[in-house]
Structure 1
């Protein structure tokens, strides 16, 4: 039988996992879903994800493709959801063109970072809370977020020892949404560097506290150098919220 390519849409709470990508000594989302698919299909399955998420990071919209040359069993998606743990949910399964690649065909991604200003005992692992956070100047935080839209390279916001081939990213959104007791940072781009969003959130919070000047951020971006005392915000508040593909005309939903 001809090998066919399928794409899974899924969501997951990343608290219990060492990120999306398979790890030699820790449980990942990729390994968990690979195992479920391999069990249901009776053949080894290797998913290819749309990108990496770090340990403790969540996704409300994630995509991964796999190849399979057999007939899919009926009601596969529902059976997989019953098999998988409660912190992983499969949203859709599609037969897609063989040239579609979950990572390299994606044209855009969006993240949201959720931060509570007071302790929430009901969501300690899915919304960030920073106990030592001081008073915040929201105008300066918004200015820091908007400043990023003037740049096309983001070396100051990339984890050290990254294997990225370029620091270039095209940002289309970078803004804060301020509520009475909660803040949300929204960012969209064609691609992201490793650890980029959490480092940006950390920068904005330090600017808001008055611990980092906007001029220091500009100098770091102009020179593509690390910020003084960079800080990565906690993983618990970060969500991958959208993965975009250019043309879904030929995607066929699998019941």
Structure 2
């Protein structure tokens, strides 16, 4: 029995998320079907986390245990022959049994992309959130500093979140841009359900003058002290990388 690590990229537009769901097709389902097509054996794939419906990934890490012996390149090329165009295995390698895609992970980087334009973009429609009104990015950057560190993010999760604790640590938040696109990269130890989308939604409200710059400090200190954060659309979010 060997353990194979995969790095998977996907466009989440047509999926109910990474994990199996009763209401539609998941990325995990497509990947496990490709494994059956390639090897003739049913495999279970264990991921570094979940992405919700509509969320994308460039660097989802997962692993599987198998008795099938194939060259590392054959895992990548073979699976890609059976996967749809919106999912691809970018890398495959054999790892030792101590590696676990979820429990060995030390942090993740997500990117949220905002289209700052009054006119929609056909080319960016599936992976960005169009915000038509001007944004004060300087205020957003100032407010984002309050997220950095170890905090109780109870105000930044949806009611369906089943995490045992709402304490999380954010390592960094960086802003970058190209033309009308604004990228917000968030690095942290782990994230609650919809946490980044609610963080971004709050930053956009601040950038539009709908909330004060110190709103994040208030929400972290007392979740009930202000209206619930706005949840940014799923399509603007992408898992960029997981590190171990």
Same fold (TM over 0.5): yes
Specify every segment of 5 or more residues in structure 1 that has no aligned partner in the other structure, as ranges.
Answer: 246-255
In 2, Cα distance between the equivalents of 1:61 and 1:226? Answer: 36
- 1:20-169 correspondence runs (5 A): 20-72=18-70, 75-118=74-117, 119-130=120-131, 133-169=132-168
- What is the match of residue 222 of structure 1? 221
* Length, aligned pairs only: 241
CA contact (8 A) 2:63 2:101 kept: yes
In 1, Cα distance between the equivalents of 2:213 and 2:88? Answer: 41
In 2, Cα distance between the equivalents of 1:108 and 1:227? Answer: 29
Q: CA offset at residue 203 of structure 1?
A: 0.2
Q: Which has the higher strand share?
A: 2
CA contact (8 A) 2:13 2:126 kept: yes
The SS at the match of 1:15 is: helix
Q: CA offset at residue 180 of structure 1?
A: 4.0
TM-score (norm 1): 0.89
TM-score (norm 2): 0.93
In 2, Cα distance between the equivalents of 1:227 and 1:80? Answer: 48
1:77-134, CA deviations, whole angstroms, 9 ceiling, x for partnerless residues? 212112111111111111111121101110010001111112111221122213xx42
1:55-79, CA deviations, whole angstroms, 9 ceiling, x for partnerless residues? 1110011111111123237823212
In 1, Cα distance between the equivalents of 2:75 and 2:5? Answer: 13
Q: CA offset at residue 179 of structure 1?
A: 4.3
1:6-55, CA deviations, whole angstroms, 9 ceiling, x for partnerless residues? 11111111111111011123000000000000221111111011101011
1:187-211, CA deviations, whole angstroms, 9 ceiling, x for partnerless residues? 1011111101110000000011111
